[in-house]
Amino acid sequence: MRKPGIGEANLGAVIGATVGAVGGLFAVTIPYAILTRDLSALSMARTYGLMGFIVSTPIGWILGGQISPRIEGRLSERAAGIIGGAIGGLVPVSGFIYWGWRLITR
């Protein structure tokens, strides 16, 4: 198990930032789009989407870069980078989805 530095660039960090950025753009409006069954509702809250993008990208980078080297012992380097990056990027996105759900159900 390798312990990377905070913010170190690796495949997991890049994938984490990508998943966090794309997911953060739409995360707040996903619950509303599901409840209304309207795909065009994903572009309604542009300010919240931009905030999700700005916050989720660096968090996904850091978490993906930290998770992926820690699971390389069980998986290959590439598979660990992909899986660790996806998990690291989904952590902030899931937080924004939860926040969007709380905004909609109040």
Q: Which residue ranges make up each domain of the chain?
A: 11-105
More confident call, 73 vs 95: 95
pTM: 0.85
Q: Check residues 43 and 95 and name the one with the higher pLDDT.
A: 95
Please give the average per-residue pLDDT across 21-38, as a whole number: 89
pLDDT at 59: 95
- Residue 34 phi, psi (nearest 5): -70, -45
Closest C-alpha among 45, 33, 31, 38 to residue 106: 31
Instruction: Give per-residue pLDDT as tens, 45-63.
Output: 888 889 999 999 999 999 9
> What are the structure tokens assigned to 85, written together?
């990056």
Write down the mean pLDDT value for the chain: 88
Long-range contacts of 34-43 (CB under 8 A, 24+ apart): 35/104
